[in-house]
Structure 1
């Protein structure tokens, strides 16, 4: 069994668990027309992909010591992925190189207002609970962030036990499920009670809440708040990514918070939600206790990531984040 060469073996602030793969982002005339029609693109970029690894890169960019636990193929895409992560300053010692299975790949068909994602799972589902346990023991993270739950069914099946051990280690836990390709949203009723923070977008929030039929909350007329309230009954704080509108947070005790995004000329929204995750978790690691301030970190980080193509090329530095948070550029915040 081969592993990627480590960047370091000391304790890390955050261990990010999940998918590691490249994204091929295509823009232009991207809506397929079959019948052997040839269509011309405006741009094509091979960039860092994977919800987990985009979030990890965002954390590193914000100065958070971060490691990744994942599996990639021992192939050109796998080496490309590990190389980008190492160059970003991440600890890659918990990434396994699998000689038998190709690295996962996502093809992003991106338009001005929407995108479609075609994913080859490849090595993405191969990460095991034992590998996550070993990484936690060795790297001793303060926080563990888990992404792309539904792309890793074997790990998902063991996740309640893994999360219990993480909590025993003293680390906190966040989860970004991403979309369920099967649209069944199974298993979360056993996972969410062991999660401190759930980080869905609005569509994922509604789908997750609808999959919890035994949970009820008094309706408020706000479908986002109502869905979050149902999930909060299982225990986690629910932090909702709302695109250019920023983010909203709902706590089990009923306290709600919100923060706007930035008013920017958007180039590409790929990975913006993962950069939002990175901003929120960076605030947690920085011991920011005010929930509205955590949301501001998240909304600014998510917004700034849309300035260039791909999920990581325009991610915020800590200096850029601080500039926006200080109020020196307050006019750039979107009006709500």
Structure 2
């Protein structure tokens, strides 16, 4: 016999539509379909208007050489593909630093008030209210003279070739270490301030009874956080954290202003070389869009795993 009584109400999740079996995408309502048709019509009108008013000639086939080009030795990445690799490296390293800063400061400031968390609050409020471009210039022009980047480049030149190739592949090649370091520090500090508040809010979202129960069991402060609080806080932290990862990749375009050859910088170069304004920027926008969609789908996969359900 089936058990009687009402079924337990499923826990709400921001990704509930995606977590149902056999439903990789959310269900589109009639209103969503109307909006999608309007957006497609607006895009078609934009293309027609641009061509009719300016006499612009679309040259999409020529753009392929700037993505992957063929050489006598084989295929190699073009300017846009190389810029995408730089953007990926910049975003990954920046987010790793942001998670380190935000995770540490957010955990230390959770459920605390007064002078104990005043330095953390000053850091968060100061960084969040400063334009990231100003912070980028400060770190590039001023802190760059204080950091031993030039010494690192000198040491790298005398290092074995395998080490130079590893650093060039994983971080930045010679001649770009100063710009990559400044960009990673800027995005890591800037996004780390937001991650701090995300982590703090997630930890404080765990009911007070969980803290009291774990303390009554004799757990130390570290054990309470590791075994009881953080596993429950992840479900509150993960959705906004995924949005912050997407923001980090979008903000990485600022690095083009210090001549770091990321996707935006290379798009500017391709536009200057080929005069394909619309094709270049539509392609760059689609690449950033695909990056954001990939991060969002990976976040949905993490959030819907049973490991994070409490």
Calculate the TM-score normalised by the size of structure 1: 0.21
TM-score of the aligned structures, taking structure 2 as reference length: 0.23
Q: Considering fraction of residues, name the structure with more helix.
A: 2
Which has the higher Rg, Structure 1 or Structure 2? 2
